[in-house]
Every structure is written in C-alpha cells, then in structure tokens.
Amino acid sequence: MFKDVNYEEVVDGKTGAQSVAPERKSPERTLRVVLAGGGSGGHINPLLAVAEALRLSAPKAGISLTLRYLGPESEYVEILRAANIEIDSLLGAKWRRHGFVRNILDIPFFFVSLFQALVKLLFFMPDVIFSKGGTGSLPVVLVGWLYRIPIVIHESDAIPGVSNAIAGRFARRIAISFDRAKNYFPRKKTALTGAPLNPGLFTDQLSQKTAKDVLGFDPEEPVIFVMGGSQGAQPLNEFLMTNLEEMTKIAQIIHQTGTANFAEVQKLSRAAMIEISTKDALPKRYHPVAFLKTEDMRNALTAADLVISRAGSSSLFEIAAFKKPAIVIPLPGSARDHQRLNAFEFAKSGGGIIIEQTNLMPGIFMNQIKDILGNAATLETMSKTSASFYIPNAAQIIAQEIMKIAGY
C-alpha cells in the first residue's frame, strides 16, 4: 500500500478534508480500469506491468477485471494489444515546456482528444483511471476528473513531465519512482513506490552461466549488455560500432539497438568486421538485436556482468533489480533534463558510473570498462549498491491501491 499517504486526509483528489472509507462493492462486479499514457515504451511498459499485476491480484480477491487502454496509437501500443488489452484510440497531443509554436499547433488535436475522451469514458465509465503521463494522457485525466472517476498516476522520472505535473492536481493517488519527484506533488497523496516492472522479468530465472550459454556466449567470459531503450540510442550505437574491435577484445556484447536503428547497426557492424582481424570470431562475441521480448530481456540482464544504458527510469530500475553494475550515459536534451537527474539519483548509491555524452571518449570509456570488469571487488561492490537502489513490487503496490480506491 501507499504507506506514506495519509488516507484520512485525502478525498476526491483533494487534501485537508476528512474522507469516508469507500463502500465495499460486490465481488461479482467487474473492476473496470482505463490505462492512459503513451509516446514511448517508457510509458507503455509500466502500464503493462500494472495491468499484469492487476490480473494476478483481482482473481485472488474474487474480482472480474476489464482493462482498456485509452490513448494514441503507436508501435508501442502493440505491446498492450499483444497482452489482450482492449485499445481505444485517441488522437493525442503533446505538451512541451519549450516550443511555443508547436504547442499552439497541437491545440486543435488536444481539443479533439478531449471530445474523444468525453465520449469514450462516458460509454465505458471505468472505476479507476491509471495514467502514466505522456502523449494523450492529459485529456483522459481531465475528463476522468470531470466524471468524478478516481485517478491514480505514476511518475517515472526524478522530475515530472508536463502532463503528469498537471495531472497531479486532479489525481487521488500519485506514485513516484524517485524520491526527488515528491517535491513536485502534494505530499499527502504521494508515495515512493519505484518503477513498475514487468512481472515476467522475474519468473524462471537462469543462472548467469546458463543465461550466457542460452544467448550463445562463452559462459566463462564477461558479457556487456548495451541497452538502447525502447527507441534505441543512435549516438551510442555509432560509438559502439566505431570501437567494436576494442570492445570485443574486452568482453562479449549483446546490443539492443532499437527497432529504428537495427538495419543501420547491422550495416555498420558488417563494415567493422572487414576491419577487424578476428572477424571470424566476431559473430560469436557480438550479438545485435532490435528489440528484446520479456524472456530475452530477462536472460540478457541475467547474463550481463556490466550494463551500458541511457537513463530512462525503467532501464535503471531493471538494472538495479538484477543487481548489475552500470555505466549510464544520459540522453542530452531530454525533457527538463530528466535523464541526467535520473542518472545522478541512480549513481548516488555507487552502483553506476555516469559518463556525459559530450565526454564519451574512447580512452575514458574503455578505461572505465576495464576498471570495472578487471576488479572482482569493484564488481561485487557495485552489484550490491545497484541492488540497493531497487524498490521491489511497485506494480503490485499500485495494483493494490487501484483495487482499494475502487472499493475492493
């Protein structure tokens, strides 16, 4: 539960008034939940994690569950569709802290999305809305508040995006991944839960050596997992290709490129093979993949001795959940510089080293990798401190809170 939320002083998304415990509903009644949010895998994957946690929790409480996503269509929404979550599309509009002209141009899309949300929520009328922020989430939250539907939001980053910063005023409960984010929301309805991660990541885990073998690597040699995030990271991909020969001398590499960048990385890696004297061994030591399904992500994180990643919230919490040392390279120019702030929050414990993209020089980078992989004591210390950053069961905590707000 949200242990640091004072439930006695929260009512209808406002604080300062006494509330009456919700009347318990009949367990035969279906719990109807709308999932809102979009724009990237960083929004969609946590929605899926909470949806799966609800599917596990609801039957145990004798509750029938209906889930529906209400938001803009994108390639990432296919993740929800594959999980048998009904999709109801909104046009969507993106709000930016900077970019006045682009915001003006998006105003018509926003009002169209509001109208769509008015109609679709009226006909579905959920018991609770769970919003992750991002493109298209704000119209759903505003209309939900108008209909007096309880709203739960989750903020992944150390500093909230525009949609969640506004939505926090209308939410009944606010879950956050980073303690720093509590400074931007009403304290009495905000709780530190960590990031919701896919429960499938934690089932049927292999030993590290077995995971390496399953991925086609030598179990006795170190593995580096390069995580580009759901959208990939083109500058990281290009840097890796430029230094592929040196990297593969140090370790075996599994490289998640992002779907949009996979063809280009394949092309660059083939060119690199021509230059590398040990090109016959390269396919055994370097495995590029566009996208990792849950089982493959679980095996890659299990096999890794070191992770190189951007500083998206879900990526950092996945790294910590698997107790992995990391080199974190924040995305420059991310909204409100949230990736840099995320990275510093993660690195404070000592489980990660930050290299700014402007300082991504081969000499500095290779020395950091060698220092970490070449020192067993450093690996062990970073592994333990990385693990200390992880907050377990976020998806389950949020799912239980959704059920509680609905009266179950």
Q: Of 39, 63, 34, 37, which Cα lies nearest the Cα of 51?
A: 34
Secondary structure class of 135 (helix, strand, coil): coil
Q: Which CATH architecture group holds 7-195+392-405?
A: 3-Layer(aba) Sandwich (3.40)
- Give the start-end residues of each E strand in 54-116: 64-71, 86-89
For residue 91, what are the contacts with CB-CB under 8 A and spacing of at least 6? 72, 109, 112, 113, 116, 136
User: Cβ distance 153 to 133 under 8 Å?
Assistant: yes
Distance separating alpha carbons of residues 61 and 400, to the nearest angstrom: 10
Matching fold, domains 7-195+392-405 and 200-389: yes
DSSP-based helix, strand, coil % in the chain, nearest 5: 50, 15, 35
Sort residue 19 into left (φ over 0), alpha (ψ -120 to 50) or beta.
Answer: beta
**Tokens read off for 29:** 């009644």
**End-to-end Cα, the chain, rounded Å:** 13
User: Cβ distance 215 to 300 under 8 Å?
Assistant: yes
Distance separating alpha carbons of residues 56 and 22, to the nearest angstrom: 23
Per-residue pLDDT of the chain (408 residues; tens, 9 = 90+): 565 544 333 333 333 333 444 444 444 678 999 999 876 777 888 999 999 999 999 999 899 999 999 998 877 788 888 899 999 988 866 655 555 555 566 678 788 889 999 999 999 999 999 999 988 899 999 999 999 999 999 999 999 988 999 999 999 999 999 999 999 999 999 999 999 998 889 988 899 999 999 999 999 999 999 987 655 577 888 888 888 888 998 999 999 887 777 777 777 777 666 666 555 555 678 998 888 888 999 999 999 999 999 999 999 999 999 999 999 999 887 777 889 999 999 998 788 999 998 888 988 899 999 999 999 999 999 999 999 999 999 999 999 999 999 998
CATH code of the domain made up of 200-389? 3.40.50.2000
Global pTM value: 0.86
Residue type, 196: P
- Domain ranges in the chain? 7-195+392-405, 200-389
The CA–CA distances, whole Å, from 44 to 97, 98, 130, 374 equal 22, 24, 12, 37
Distance separating alpha carbons of residues 9 and 65, to the nearest angstrom: 29
Secondary structure class of 311 (helix, strand, coil): coil
